[in-house]
Structure 1
Amino acid sequence: MSRDLFKKYNEKRDFGITAEPKGKAGKRAKTNLRFVIQLHEATRIHYDFRLEWHGVMKSWAVIKGPSYDPADKRLAVRTEDHPMDYNDFEGVISEKQYGAGPVMIWDKGTWVPEDDPDKMQKKGRITFIIEGSRMKGQWHLVRMHTPDKRENWLLIKSKDDFALNKTKNADFLKRENTSIVTGRTMDDIRKAEPGKTTKHAKASKLEPVKTAPKDKKAVSEPKASLKVN
């Protein structure tokens, strides 16, 4: 079963070259579900947003990164499932490998789904609370109905205690630009040898955050398509 689950993931990688973990399913947890966001400089820079779900990390590539402004609707392209071991990967994916380039652990922590994740995914609206160091409060993933072959979603911040207006949110990603685990910049990681390098650096302690109250306002699903540049 796990082979089929990670067939697409494994076929894209040569594990004799890349230091990324092989695809295998983990234990199915119902509580303390993990999330990770990895800043990835591949063909283009994006943020890989991953949620633990049925022993795998369900993944979306958030092209412009998360925004704390509820007015922003950030395109999140669904990608293949990743193994939970990938949560600890920070380093450089070797040249000529899929996704070649530096990878940073930008944030990590736990997430709490508002309802059964399978039901929410089927409806096309996943609402959840994030408890990380940079990602906090309630968020939504809303599936778009577009003719695109890709599975496009939108990552949207709720109007809760953690939300920011356009002005205060403007420099958020510019300020938060180091690894939450090692404290390194993307340049630091890029200069390191290809491979997983988190184990060579001192990890920083994650500070606990408060859980935001639920936003009971429904999120309207946009009908217009978005073009990825």
Structure 2
Amino acid sequence: MEDPRPAFVLHEHWRPRHHFDLRLEENGVLRSWAVPRGLPATAGGNRLAIAVPDHALDHLGYEDEHKKVADTGWWEEHDRTPKRMLFTLHGREGAVRYALIDTGRDWLLHRTKEQPARS
């Protein structure tokens, strides 16, 4: 049985230089952001996120010599405005809440101070 929840994947990518790609399933595609320094590791942390073209859903498990899956799972949206999306990634190591904020030029990936309760 297929999981009805939208999927996400975090790719670690080595070309053209080391970075991460965050991909969120939405409307039949993977909306994607390049995150040069990886996801913020601590609450309140921020990272630059650069919107890149959408990818096909077959990228959920895609790996090659330049790209590997760093994390995968499902995600849930909590709130969205034209400038911000609040969501939780439910990955291999648990759940982490983030906000993607449109700065007008690029995006800011923010790890929120309030996090889901650990189960």
Shift of 1:57: 0.1
Residue 40 of structure 1: CA displacement? 0.4
Contact kept? 2:44, 2:113, Cα under 8 Å: no
Identity of aligned residues (%): 31
* Corresponding residue number in structure 2 for 1:137: 96
Structure 2 counterpart of 1:159:
113
Q: Does 1:86 align with 2:59?
A: yes
- Who is 2:69 aligned against? 105
- Which structure dedicates a bigger proportion of its chain to helix? 1
* TM-score, length of structure 2 as denominator length: 0.88
| Greater C-alpha Rg | 1
The whole-number CA distance in structure 1 between the counterparts of 2:33 and 2:94 is 15
Matches of 1:66 and 1:134, distance apart in 2: 14
CA distance in 1, matches of 2:100, 2:43: 12
Question: 1: CA distance between counterparts of 2:100 and 2:10?
Answer: 15
8 Å CA contact retained: 1:62, 1:77 = yes
Runs of 4+ in 1 over 6 A off after TM superposition: none
User: Cα deviation per residue 1:7-63 (whole Å; 9 max; x = unaligned)?
Assistant: xxxxxxxxxxxxxxxxxxxxxxxx400000000000211100000000000000001
Distance in 1, Cα, partners of 2:104 & 2:55: 24
Partner of 1:44: 17
Aligned equivalents of 1:133, 1:158: Cα separation in 2: 19
Alpha-carbon RMSD: 1.6
Which one has the bigger strand percentage? 2
* Aligned counterparts of 2:28 and 2:97: Cα–Cα separation in 1: 23
**1:1-229 aligned within 5 A:** 31-92=4-65, 102-115=66-79, 120=80, 123-134=82-93, 136-146=95-105, 152-161=106-115, 212=116
| Change in CA separation of 1:113 and 1:36 when aligned onto 2, cut-off 3 Å | same
Contact 1:137 1:160 in 2 (8 A): no
Is the 2:44–2:112 contact (alpha carbons within 8 Å) kept by the matching residues of 1? no
Amino acid at match of 1:106: A
Aligned CA distance change for structure 1 residues 37 and 64 (closer, same or farther; 3 Å): same
Aligned residues: 114
Report the TM-score when normalising by structure 1: 0.47
Q: Which has the higher contact order (CA 8 A, sep 6+)?
A: 2
